[in-house]
Structure 1
C-alpha cells in the first residue's frame, strides 16, 4: 500500500489505524467517510505523527490530534 497516493482506501486505512493507536473508545465517532479526499495530506501528516509517537503520546497530544480530526470532519445534515 502506497500511502503517498491519495485515495479513499488509503484514507480509510490511516483513519482506522489512528483510531487503534489513539485508543479511541467509541470508534464510530470517527469514520473515513467523514473526511473529504482533499484533506488527504492533512490526514497523512496526522497519521505519520501518530505512527511516530505510537504508545508515547501525552494526553495533551492525544486531545490535540482528536480535536484536529474533529475540526476536519465534514458537516452533515441530520
Structure 2
C-alpha cells in the first residue's frame, strides 16, 4: 500500500488497520467514508502511531478513538 498518495482507498485501508489493531467492536463508528482527504495527514499520523505499538491501555484506546472522531466530516 502506497500511503504517500492521498486517496479514499488509503484512508479506508488505514482506518480498517487501526480498528483491527485496536480490536474495536463498534467499527461502524469509524466508517472510512466519514473522513475527508483534507484530514489525510492527520489520519496517517494516527495510523503510524497505532502500527508502532503492540498494546494499548484503555485510556490510550479511548484517546485514539476520540482523535479519529475529531477528524470525521
- Give the TM-score normalised by the residue count of structure 2: 0.93
Unaligned 5+ runs, structure 2 = none
Q: CA RMSD in A?
A: 0.9
What CA distance in whole angstroms lies between the structure 2 residues aligned with 1:62 and 1:51? 13
What CA distance in whole angstroms lies between the structure 1 residues aligned with 2:4 and 2:64? 20
Alignment match, 1:11: 11
Q: How many residues are aligned here?
A: 73
What CA distance in whole angstroms lies between the structure 1 residues aligned with 2:46 and 2:6? 14
1:12-71 deviation per Cα after TM superposition (whole angstroms, max 9, x unaligned): 0000110111111111111111011010000000000110013x1111111100000111
Larger Rg: 1
Alignment match, 1:58: 57
Alignment match, 2:36: 36
Q: Quick check: which one's helix share is greater?
A: 2
What CA distance in whole angstroms lies between the structure 2 residues aligned with 1:13 and 1:67? 19
- Give the TM-score normalised by the residue count of structure 1: 0.88
